[in-house]
Amino acid sequence: MQQIDAQSFDSKLKGNEPLILLDVREEIEYHTYNIGGKNIPLSQLTEKLALVSPNKSDEIIVICKAGLRSQTAQAILLQNGFTNVKNLTGGLLAMQRLQA
């Protein structure tokens, strides 16, 4: 499974590259701190796959707090035909360390 580290992800964001950011944390976590993107909690992902992207070949970067839930979400997306899915290793914690 493809991974992306915080520094590479930050470069993509700053370069305005076309990608879909999918945050799979629970809604309360998302509203406490987020960097944008769609919020579909991991517990609801299977039922809401149609909301992720109409094009299954779009680049999707899945994020969560530490990278574990997003790794599970990545597997779900790949099993359902999405082909360009990356997991943010270290999650938002890695992004916060990068920006500190």
> Would you please indicate which residues are annotated as catalytic (active-site) residues?
64
> Could you tell me if 85 and 15 are in contact, meaning their C-beta atoms sit under 8 angstroms apart?
no
Task: Tell the residue number behind the tokens 């590479």, with chain if given.
Answer: 8
Question: 10: closest CA among 68, 84, 72, 96?
Answer: 96
Tokens of 69: 């839930």
- Cα(61)–Cα(73) distance, rounded to whole angstroms? 10
Tokens of 41: 């909690």
Question: 22: closest CA among 49, 57, 52?
Answer: 52
